[in-house]
Structure 1
Amino acid sequence: CRLYFTQIGIGTPAKSYYVQVDTGSDILWVNCVSCDTCPRKSGLGIELTLYDPSGSSSGTGVTCGQEFCVATHGGVLPSCVPAAPCQYSISYGDGSSTTGFFVTDFLQYNQVSGNSQTSLANTSITFGCGAKIGGDLGSSSQALDGILGFGQSNSSMLSQLAAAGKVRKVFAHCLDTINGGGIFAIGDVVQPKVSTTPLVPGMPHYNVNLEAIDVGGVKLQLPTNIFGIEESKGTIIDSGTTLAYLPGVVYNAIMSKVFAQYGDMPLKNDQDFQCFRYSGSVDDGFPIITFHFEGGLPLNIHPHDYLFQNGELYCMGFQTGGLQTKDGKDMVLLGDLAFSNRLVLYDLENQVIGWTDYNC
């Protein structure tokens, strides 16, 4: 599992926090001193820090009657009494969760100030103070201080920075799967130029219109409404997901085409992955899979992206959607596997998303 995280500063004096970057959720939150179950050590070799609102001279609590709380919850919570804290609760697709309360404090972040130059910027924003975590977030092997949501809602850090007039509502990432790490940037991308496809309006995630899929240049024959945009269908782009998930009928069609010339190759099921032995270069032996989006934007996924090494085996990085969540079985969910070593641009002002190959 690949994990992409960045460093931000919070509070006065500022302390450093390491947060996972996730385009599939909205809120920034970090674990707080009141959290008993939060990891104290991380297998990633980073120093974990618990946020203490009383340890920052600029930190203040958010009450449930305040505008931010009312807007985030779509109205005043029934349990709200004057001066009570504004609570939050988030569940993620993998079953992990966080609950806590909102606070407002100074956020310190790097802003591009010139060609390959960054400078520190400081802005007051509202974020979650995590009092309890569940699922994989509680395990220390890949523990971080929190999650930085880059969704579209008004509660996201990007929306707050944009509303304060600090940045344009545009961000980009470039994930380097060869050396690890990559680039995450807020604001305009001048170079390289990026072709785009429209975002589907009124969706909570980054939904796009997928029109067709080719394997090795041959278009897959699929049911006509398979990529519809209604509630339980559609195509989502999400950097918080490592792999790519497809409706069963699409997955089966791709698998049969990818392995068409290896009819007798035995596939081994290893923790829900289809794996096999192969000795040559996968880029020479397997086809490119191309997703075609509205506006003519293609996404070429090479064999070295969709096949990953697991010991002596290669495994297929695509899975059927039902394996991730039961309500996602008819959706296409494209995670980092599909966008590695590409600059991906999210232009929320113009409601488009695009990408281009790039050496991160």
Structure 2
Amino acid sequence: MPEVLLIVGLLTAIFVGYNIGGSTTGPAFGPAVGANVITKVTAAALMSVFFFIGAYTIGPEVVETLGKDLVESTSIFTLRTNAAVLFFIGGALFVGNYAGVPASTSMTAVGAISALGFATGELNWDILGEVVIWWVVAPIIGFWVAGVVGRYFYPRINAWIAIEGDQQGDPMIAIDRSGLVPQFRFRADGDRREMTGALIVVAIGCLMGFASGTSNIANAIAPIYGTGDVNMTTLILLGCGAVAVGSFTIARRTLDTLGSDITNLPLTAAIVVAVISSGIVVTLSWLGIPASFVVIATMSIVGLGWGRATRTTTLSGVRAGEETPVSVGALTAEEEGERSPKIGEEEPEDIPQASDLFDPSTTARVILMQNIVPAISTVGAYLTFRFIPIFGF
């Protein structure tokens, strides 16, 4: 029986890793894919490599501590409870991935483990409270910082960078697999500044993939490792392999959602989102908080889209009762030698429309699902451990 439970636990851990790959690849490389810097296949390959590096180097520290601080006693982690916890984590994440919405792996995993601790009376409420407070504050910070940048500074940044991703042509960076060793290939018509910006946004995506590996590998393997039946290296390799499969398959849906469905994301916007998101994630990691970078990155994209959309306004009474859409940027242009066009002089096709920059319906679906998925994991796990007798609590 213990061998059967261990096999079930390992299979469930693989399922969790698969869904981690699906839910975290989008926030890390969605901006780069949306701006047509790299393809989805390249994004999956980079995510797999850098997730493994993070999991193998720093990940073991997180695996060691995940099951100790959140609960008062680790005796509640058994093969049976671990299999159930991983089942609810993987199942809830699969719901989000199937809907094309990347959910927070950390929130989903902490929710399931907290449910186990609550059902058994072993939950450390102080640690949970500290984590939850940061989970609420961090996405709000990301939204408003990105919103302010989108509304007041984006045109100036865009003029400085002077990059627009060509979403219809070939990607700026691709992997050439014609030789024995795969190599990066740059698009022939890209200028130096454009290539520099492309490399920056890809590098930041790699950083976020690395950060994901340091924290999220624990969500898949920590409960199994706590039993002492499988060594750390084997579990890391198993979990990273599952993450890679998820990155190449189900992550395509979340890449679409975060790369193009929420907001029209040119390369400049991709860089802004990546810088804001990675900065917040690194800061939280430095503070020892398990960062929900899925939610932070998503809300940064939403905030930037909202900020850019609110630059477009309508002024009435300009032409005898007509309503003429006017870009706020046109009214606040301050570049030397640049003349702000008079009201009514703008060409309609040159004015960004709010619907092109920010999709409220998709945004609402994303935010709703990112709350539903952890709720499914938490409520399902609590009801199972509280009322099903086979767990012995």
TM normalised by structure 2 equals 0.25
Largest Rg, 1 or 2: 2
TM normalised by structure 1 equals 0.26
Structure in which a larger fraction of residues adopt helix: 2
Larger relative contact order (CA 8 Å, sep ≥ 6): 2
Structure in which a larger fraction of residues adopt strand: 1
